[in-house]
Structure 1
Amino acid sequence: MRRLRLLRSLGLLAVLLATPASAQMRGHGGPVRALGVLPGGEVAVSGGFDQAVIVWGIATGTALSVLRFHEGAVNAVVALPDGGFATASEDGRIALWRVGQSEPERVFAEHTGPVTGLAVSPDGLSLASASWDGTARIRPLAGGPARELVGHAGNVNAVAYLPDGRIATAGYDATLRIWSAVDSAAPPVVVTLPTPLNALAVTRDGEIAVAGGDATVRVLTPDGTERAAVEVGPNPVIALALSPDETRIAAATAGGTVAVVARDGGRVLRRLVGPGLPVWSVAWRGDELVTGGSDRLVRRWNAATGEPIGALSLPRPSDPLAAFHGDRGAEVYRACVACHALTPEDGPRAGPTLAGIIGRRIATAPGYRYSEALKSMDLVWDAATIARLFEVGPARYTPGTRMPEQTITAAEDRAALVRFLEKATALP
């Protein structure tokens, strides 16, 4: 087994050394939702809205493998102490992987909603997860039952360990909660903040950085007292990451910038400015930053200067709806662009391509992994069924779907959307 792993490592090193360098990594079919850099800094792992996990050689920009296991957007990635990594998805599952393997070694499926955050304990023995089922869960990596943390009123978006083993969670209910390391019955410390919370990070001395909808990064002491607040707006903060020396906090925003904040000075040192699309994920690699965004790229940046490594090529993607300017149905459809393509050549994103959807049986678009619940349904997409989907909502009309819950209340807007899809998705 050791020899096999050595051969895999040597093969990986050969790929990393043999391929020309690229500052930008392209491979995802949708926004890059999650990023992690493995120990040693040579390999990154990204997760996308397209349900794919990609293992990258950072220095070369090479995709070493594309892993398709999850049945929903991949929301979180974290490196494991043994050199492997864990991924978590909208499908509620957490998978443990080893570089070079095409299937996960283990899968955890305790959550009943999308999993949005992962963290490894300081001793490397436990894995924590945050979920939209309203809970966080702590499980021994060696095996055994998971501990459940219940108390948030709604989605739990982020989780992290304090150095003493306590667990911090951040939620849409605008609370940061600090839980006992061992006692599930002990009430948590609850810190109420002025905004829904999306992200957090914890330093080795126990300070907590947290941010969310009001575009402010707050630094709290280990007992939850606010020490500093840095406005990085105007757009909400989606992800946070601490530099290896913990002197800086990278804050990725929905407006397409990443603010590098001085942890002690409480000020923005510089801003990384990309193509203007949301930056969903950020990770450090020494004094580099690696980001993933809605342009479907993984990018590298010099964190000291704020400049991209290599050319900041590939401008903001063209608007796929530009040809339908003034069409009410196209405007209604705009909310769907991030998850669904209109043409077959674009392939699946977070959801399947809609090319040829009129007259197509549900759960039959090629190249997309559907849930078993959808594959068992007897439904054909046409003007009536599409309108009904958005009248009552996906959860009621297509139980078992991973599609975000949404409705279109106005009948005229539903009709306009159907007319648009009939012409925009027609196959040649």
Structure 2
Amino acid sequence: MISITSTELNYLVFRYLHESGFTHSAFAFGYEAGINKSTFDGNLVPPGALVTFVQKGIQYLELDANLSSTDVDMDDDFSFLQPLDLITKDPYELQKIIKAKKENLQKDRLEENGKHNESNHEIEQENVQEREKEKKGREKEQEQDKEKIEKDREREKGKDKEKPHQDHIDKEKCEDKVIMEHEENGTAGGPEPMDISTSSTSLPCEIPSSDVKILEGHTSEVFACAWSPSGSLLASGSGDSTARIWTIVDGPSISSVQDGPLNVAVLKHFKGRTNEKSKDVTTLDWNGDGTLLATGSYDGQARIWSKDGELRSTLNKHKGPIFSLKWNKKGDFLLSGSVDKSAIVWDIKTGEWRQQFEFHSAPTLDVDWRNNVSFATCSTDSMIHVCKVGENRPMKTFSGHQGEVNAIKWDPTGTLLASCSDDYTAKIWSMKQDKYLHDLKEHVKEIYTIRWSPTGPGTNNPNQQLLLASASFDSTIKLWDVELGRLISSFDGHRDPVYSVAFSPNGEYLASGSMDKCLHIWSVKEGKIVKTLTGNGGIFEVCWNKEGDKVAACFANNIVCVLDFRM
């Protein structure tokens, strides 16, 4: 047990998040600093709460930008807050708390100094004027940056400067997006109520309410979702220490209510009646035939479940939260990556670990199989290692990124490896050389995730071009020509960081989910939004079913949505 004051915690969390750019390192910070279950002013704050700082980091950047620092240092601003405030309140509520406490402090100071009401009024007026001045200055800078980025994009695409941007036009057409609705179920800690537009004059890009199914039950943010490759099962993982397996039944209206306990299996990652925040489900993956589901948790354990929700085995060797896990194609090995800096290959037949790979000097953020026996890992140490089961050293080490490497993905044939980083770049690597083949530099903020299209040689769509999609905190998605290493198009319909993208099985569409609460489905060929949906929470992951007629999305306000997609 470590005892520190709330002021000390606020200072540490703020300085860390501010200096690290709100990246995955917040996990490592909490873990490596030994804050596993520290006491703050009598309140126990579980380590899983740091998930909130990472997932909502960009919102606290907005808080940072809007707090006044003219009379009080920025670090002092956060001293007005309690630890639980940072976890349970949004930035706007935090701004109000800080503003109110500042004003009270200012009044107390005036009274102590014997200043009269007129002086107090003058100071208040000066503060208001100063805040207005700063606000106008920020708005002007943001407008200039927006104009600059827009001009750069227009030049990239060779468009006439006087011609309106197509994505901007599409975005305007979709302003009146459908908003999801469900009735409140009355349970404590349940999802916020959401509204669905019942307008009979919906625009073409709106997803009608009859095509939206809302899955309720989680009591905290839903971080991960994945369709079973064998049927109509959808898995979701949440900060409430559970994963769920939902049975999605087709019908005349997909939004028909899921009734009865048979439609969902609850996979509890704790013993007893009380949820344990330290067992947040951070990642999950189905095996190739859809018979087993693997989940990774903040408690450092991987678990194997049957498709009916029965716990088959618990894999316990990691000494820190698991960020990523993947089955190999054959299904005999499971690969996991952890904050403890290692990756472990598990033998599913024996239920034991086969080999632990400890080559990184910092937390492992992502892992991906190249084939049944070799794989790649990436880390906050900016390095990428390609390893093989049975080998004691990496087959290949790729260095070139200047920041944390957030994700890695092998192309469909296992020939090329793509990576993305906090250094604003994505890179493409080949096992034939040490240096990257292509350095993709068009993003202006951290790149959170990447996806290969299911196209090109060795796929079900061999006659279509192989593409790479990258999603960034700059609110854009970019498509890349991987042969030439050049930008093909930029999708600019989101307003906040994009956390997840996924190609449809035929490669014709791309789904994206953002912290702006919007799910967009884009035409890859035309580069425009064809369907859109807006909810009441940020979107952490989107995924397609194998038939390509449904898209699932998991939200920060505790729900999972399934969209019926037929063009």
Shorter chain as normaliser: what TM range? 0.5 to 0.7
Asked if structure 2 preserves the Cα contact closer than 8 Å seen for 1:90 and 1:113, the reply is yes
User: Are 2:449 and 1:199 equivalent residues in the alignment?
Assistant: yes
Change (3 A) 1:260 1:41: farther
User: Are 2:502 and 1:241 equivalent residues in the alignment?
Assistant: yes
Task: Indicate the larger mover: 200-209 or 152-161.
Answer: 200-209
Distance in 2, Cα, partners of 1:57 & 1:247: 33
Distance in 2, Cα, partners of 1:142 & 1:94: 14
Question: Residue 166 of structure 1 is aligned with which of 405, 416, 424?
Answer: 416
Distance in 1, Cα, partners of 2:437 & 2:527: 27
Shift of 1:116: 1.4
TM-score (norm 2): 0.44
Shift of 1:174: 0.4
Distance in 1, Cα, partners of 2:311 & 2:345: 19
Q: Give the letter aligned to residue 106 of structure 1.
A: Q
- Higher radius of gyration, 1 or 2: 2
Distance in 1, Cα, partners of 2:266 & 2:366: 23
Question: Residue 393 of structure 2 is aligned with which of 132, 139, 145?
Answer: 145
The aligned residue for residue 151 of structure 2 is none
The aligned residue for residue 428 of structure 2 is 178
User: Are 2:489 and 1:228 equivalent residues in the alignment?
Assistant: yes
Distance in 2, Cα, partners of 1:246 & 1:152: 29
Shift of 1:178: 1.6
Shift of 1:265: 3.2
Distance in 2, Cα, partners of 1:271 & 1:66: 39
3-state SS in 2 of match to 1:145: coil
User: Are 2:511 and 1:250 equivalent residues in the alignment?
Assistant: yes
User: Are 2:319 and 1:71 equivalent residues in the alignment?
Assistant: yes
Distance in 2, Cα, partners of 1:47 & 1:174: 28
Deviation digits for residues 259-313 of structure 1 (CA, Å, limit 9, x no counterpart): 443333323344566662552x44444245565665678x57345279xxxxxxx
User: Are 2:458 and 1:208 equivalent residues in the alignment?
Assistant: no
Shift of 1:221: 0.7
3-state SS in 2 of match to 1:235: coil
Change (3 A) 1:45 1:174: same
Asked if structure 1 preserves the Cα contact closer than 8 Å seen for 2:448 and 2:471, the reply is yes
Shift of 1:129: 1.4
Distance in 1, Cα, partners of 2:534 & 2:293: 21
The aligned residue for residue 36 of structure 1 is 285
Change (3 A) 1:180 1:75: same
Where structure 2 has 5 or more consecutive residues not aligned to the other structure, the ranges are: 1-244, 246-259, 270-276, 457-465
The aligned residue for residue 27 of structure 1 is 268
Distance in 2, Cα, partners of 1:125 & 1:100: 15
Deviation digits for residues 36-58 of structure 1 (CA, Å, limit 9, x no counterpart): 22212343323233434343445
Deviation digits for residues 306-342 of structure 1 (CA, Å, limit 9, x no counterpart): 9xxxxxxxxxxxxxxxxxxxxxxxxxxxxxxxxxxxx
Change (3 A) 1:228 1:158: same
Distance in 2, Cα, partners of 1:45 & 1:104: 14
Question: Residue 340 of structure 2 is aligned with which of 86, 91, 106?
Answer: 91
Change (3 A) 1:173 1:139: same
3-state SS in 1 of match to 2:362: coil
Asked if structure 1 preserves the Cα contact closer than 8 Å seen for 2:551 and 2:565, the reply is no
Question: Residue 264 of structure 1 is aligned with which of 488, 503, 525?
Answer: 525
Asked if structure 2 preserves the Cα contact closer than 8 Å seen for 1:130 and 1:157, the reply is yes
User: Are 2:366 and 1:117 equivalent residues in the alignment?
Assistant: yes
Shift of 1:127: 0.4
Distance in 2, Cα, partners of 1:86 & 1:79: 6
Asked if structure 2 preserves the Cα contact closer than 8 Å seen for 1:51 and 1:72, the reply is yes
User: Are 2:305 and 1:45 equivalent residues in the alignment?
Assistant: no
Distance in 2, Cα, partners of 1:93 & 1:111: 7
Shift of 1:219: 1.0
The aligned residue for residue 134 of structure 1 is 382
The aligned residue for residue 329 of structure 2 is 81
Deviation digits for residues 153-201 of structure 1 (CA, Å, limit 9, x no counterpart): 11011112234712221110001112232222x3542121222101011
Query: Percent identity of the aligned residues?
Result: 19
- State how 1:375-394 maps to structure 2 within 5 Å: none
Asked if structure 1 preserves the Cα contact closer than 8 Å seen for 2:381 and 2:403, the reply is yes
Asked if structure 1 preserves the Cα contact closer than 8 Å seen for 2:288 and 2:330, the reply is no
Distance in 2, Cα, partners of 1:278 & 1:300: 10
3-state SS in 2 of match to 1:173: coil
Asked if structure 2 preserves the Cα contact closer than 8 Å seen for 1:136 and 1:150, the reply is yes
Task: Indicate the larger mover: 158-167 or 78-87.
Answer: 158-167
Distance in 2, Cα, partners of 1:269 & 1:27: 38
Asked if structure 2 preserves the Cα contact closer than 8 Å seen for 1:52 and 1:69, the reply is yes
TM-score (norm 1): 0.57
The aligned residue for residue 406 of structure 2 is 157
3-state SS in 2 of match to 1:105: strand
- Cα RMSD (Å) of the superposition? 3.5
Distance in 2, Cα, partners of 1:202 & 1:85: 21
Aligned pairs, how many?
A: 286
> Which structure has greater helix proportion?
2
Asked if structure 1 preserves the Cα contact closer than 8 Å seen for 2:339 and 2:363, the reply is yes
Shift of 1:26: 5.1
Change (3 A) 1:42 1:271: farther
Distance in 2, Cα, partners of 1:128 & 1:274: 35
Asked if structure 1 preserves the Cα contact closer than 8 Å seen for 2:320 and 2:340, the reply is yes
Asked if structure 2 preserves the Cα contact closer than 8 Å seen for 1:164 and 1:181, the reply is no
3-state SS in 1 of match to 2:353: coil
3-state SS in 2 of match to 1:154: coil
Q: Give the letter aligned to residue 128 of structure 1.
A: A
Deviation digits for residues 88-137 of structure 1 (CA, Å, limit 9, x no counterpart): 1122121223446543222211111111122222x544201121111111
The aligned residue for residue 478 of structure 2 is 218
3-state SS in 1 of match to 2:500: strand
Deviation digits for residues 19-49 of structure 1 (CA, Å, limit 9, x no counterpart): 9643475535455432322212343323233
